[in-house]
Structure 1
Amino acid sequence: MSEFRYNYLKDTWVIIATERSKRPHDYNVSIYEEPITDISKCPFEYGNEDKTPPEIFAIRPDGSNPNTPGWLTRVFPNRYPALRIENSPISEGYYIFDKKGGFGAHEVIVETPDHFKHIQDFDQQDFINMFITFRERIKSLYNDYRIKYIHIFKNHGKEAGKSLVHSHSQLIALPMIPKQPFTMILQSKKYFLEKERCYTCDEIKLESQLGERVIYENENFISYCSYASLYPFEIKIAPKYHRHDFSTITEDKMKDLADVMRFTVKKLDKTLINPPFNMVLYSAPPYRDDTINKEIFNHINNYFHWHIEILPRITTLAGFELGTDYYINPTPPEEAAKFLREVV
């Protein structure tokens, strides 16, 4: 029988539609294949550094000069940014409407110089390089006091919004905290005030004990399908130790994170045959004493728990989801985790 499950962190309900239950092969997922392109025209290739805006950050083990070959990861402003750092963050009213200047930052993070290597092909060091790059950009951008939230995401596959073949992620820095992460912060604090514990810490402990939704875990990280997954085969990856801010992660912990990420992405690739998905990093914003909600963010280190979500795009959000903010998931997370664990 179908059932409602409450997603505590996102404060919404999910219908686990067991009567419409789908196995991996039941999803009408067209196998995602990267089109063959003339890589000489790709702006992310070695030698084409002049085809992008000047780089902001790069990992260059050979000590090569900026905007030249020799990099392992490379970051630069998006050529068509949603927001710009030089824009004004000033708010103003227009009759009953409110608006702000388009202040912020929009960056492209190229995780590998290899045009044909995608996230399911990454080795451990590729993931470590990617996470180091995420960490350093978060730390740098939060030095600007006007930035209130940084959203890092990866679109894999055309259906997930990927526009260029070469593997890359994006970062958008905002002058406000968006609704979903704000809700997750509020829910985390609510739980902490009631129980004096972190919700995600409790969730991880329970999932590890039960095991039925766990995909993989090592000493420091765990990968699992959440009890109230909004999407079929939705995956959460989180540290088993409490930490609110991803930018504090050390290289020794990154090895375990890379291990879990590599294992999980390969399992997802084999189970659903390279499905399109979005990967999102949720990390606590810094405390800003100028915000009207400063009491919410005070002591955020006690109650928020950073994590990564992988959201396969194998179903379509339709009238029910868009009109209610509730979700229908036709694959119970227990079954999804079992398929992911057992695929060879």
Structure 2
Amino acid sequence: MSELRWNPLLKTWTMVASNRQARPNMPKDWCPFCPGSGRVPEHYDVLKYDNDFPALKLNPDKPDVEGSDLYRVAENYGKCEVILYSPEHTKTLPELSVEHIYKLVNLWTERFRELSKDEKIKYIFEFENRGEEVGVTMPHPHGQLYAYPFVPLKLKVELDSCKEYYFEKGKCMICQMNEEETDFKERIIYENDSFIAYIPFLLTIPTVFL
């Protein structure tokens, strides 16, 4: 069972999912995400697979605990999906062809648009975990998609900061950050016609010459 629990200090919800403790470690001689397992199609390039142990559900659970005025609880409404990158068990994302990655991006886009139609969904997060240390039990190449019924705290703070900056300065904060990084150049990791990636200013260690 799972539920959302309200953190009154941070004014945000936390997902508590006791059902995820029952997730199995994958047997060495079998993988549910490989063709032939009976769990996925015999032939696929990329695939959306509903998570077997979701923290969020379109048919939510009844909360395990009873809340109060201070410690509120709510149903775990939302959606958790597994996005399979490839039918090949040992293929990693960097090893996929550009054409294959294009199919993967199209699937992300398709799922984002479909889940966005639900007015109860407030934020959609596409991500990938790697390694047993962070709870990965299935090594088959995959990522995940979580559709939240709320905007996570860090994202909400960033959005509120951008709105405040715009009303004060009349400028888009993200646009100005991109312009300053483009002019400075030294923190840019990669840039093309569509994207720019750079090290955040706050994480940059200044060079000291003695």
Deviation at residue 95 of structure 1 after TM alignment: 4.4
Comparing both chains, which one has the higher relative contact order based on Cα–Cα distances under 8 Å and sequence gaps of 6 or more? 1
Alignment match, 2:96: 122
Indicate whether 1:204 and 2:164 are aligned. Answer: no
Aligned pairs for 1:307-326 within 5 A: none
TM-score, normalised with respect to structure 1 = 0.48
Q: Give the AA of the match of 1:46.
A: P
Percent sequence identity is 30
Q: Pick the aligned partner of 1:86 from 40, 56, 59.
A: 59
TM-score, normalised with respect to structure 2 = 0.76
Q: Deviations over 1:44-100 (max 9, x none)?
A: 11122x33xxxxxxxxxxxxxxx522211111211011111012799x952432111
In structure 2, the CA distance between the partners of 1:220 and 1:69, relative to structure 1 (3 Å rule), is: same
Indicate whether 1:72 and 2:38 are aligned. Answer: no
| Unmatched segments (≥5 aa) in structure 1 | 1-34, 52-66, 230-331, 336-344
Q: Aligned partners of 2:130, 2:158: CA distance in 1, in Å?
A: 24
Q: Pick the aligned partner of 1:43 from 29, 32, 46.
A: 32
In structure 2, the CA distance between the partners of 1:74 and 1:47, relative to structure 1 (3 Å rule), is: same
Indicate whether 1:176 and 2:150 are aligned. Answer: yes
In structure 2, the CA distance between the partners of 1:122 and 1:195, relative to structure 1 (3 Å rule), is: farther
Is the CA contact 1:225–1:334 (under 8 Å) kept in the aligned structure 2? no
| Unmatched segments (≥5 aa) in structure 2 | 1-25
Is the CA contact 1:216–1:222 (under 8 Å) kept in the aligned structure 2? yes
In structure 2, the CA distance between the partners of 1:69 and 1:104, relative to structure 1 (3 Å rule), is: same
- Helix, strand or coil for the counterpart of 1:194? helix
Q: Aligned partners of 1:196, 1:161: CA distance in 2, in Å?
A: 44
Deviation at residue 37 of structure 1 after TM alignment: 4.1
Deviation at residue 105 of structure 1 after TM alignment: 0.8
Q: Which runs of at least 4 in structure 1 moved beyond 6 Å after TM superposition?
A: none
Q: Deviations over 1:210-247 (max 9, x none)?
A: 11111221122112211123xxxxxxxxxxxxxxxxxx
Q: Aligned partners of 2:76, 2:129: CA distance in 1, in Å?
A: 23
Query: What is the count of residue pairs matched by the alignment?
Result: 180
Q: Aligned partners of 1:215, 1:75: CA distance in 2, in Å?
A: 31
Alignment match, 1:137: 111
CA RMSD of the aligned region, Å? 2.6
- Helix, strand or coil for the counterpart of 1:223? strand
Q: Give the AA of the match of 2:50.
A: P
Indicate whether 1:100 and 2:100 are aligned. Answer: no
Q: Aligned partners of 1:213, 1:334: CA distance in 2, in Å?
A: 11
Q: Deviations over 1:154-187 (max 9, x none)?
A: 1123334422111111111121111111111111
Q: Aligned partners of 2:92, 2:27: CA distance in 1, in Å?
A: 14
Q: Aligned partners of 2:101, 2:50: CA distance in 1, in Å?
A: 21
Q: Give the AA of the match of 2:145.
A: L
In structure 2, the CA distance between the partners of 1:195 and 1:95, relative to structure 1 (3 Å rule), is: closer
Deviation at residue 122 of structure 1 after TM alignment: 2.8
In structure 2, the CA distance between the partners of 1:209 and 1:159, relative to structure 1 (3 Å rule), is: farther
- Helix, strand or coil for the counterpart of 1:96? coil
- Helix, strand or coil for the counterpart of 1:108? strand
Q: Aligned partners of 2:53, 2:205: CA distance in 1, in Å?
A: 37
In structure 2, the CA distance between the partners of 1:36 and 1:126, relative to structure 1 (3 Å rule), is: farther
Deviation at residue 104 of structure 1 after TM alignment: 1.1
Q: Aligned partners of 2:91, 2:32: CA distance in 1, in Å?
A: 16
Deviation at residue 205 of structure 1 after TM alignment: 1.6
Q: Aligned partners of 2:62, 2:111: CA distance in 1, in Å?
A: 20
Is the CA contact 1:191–1:197 (under 8 Å) kept in the aligned structure 2? yes
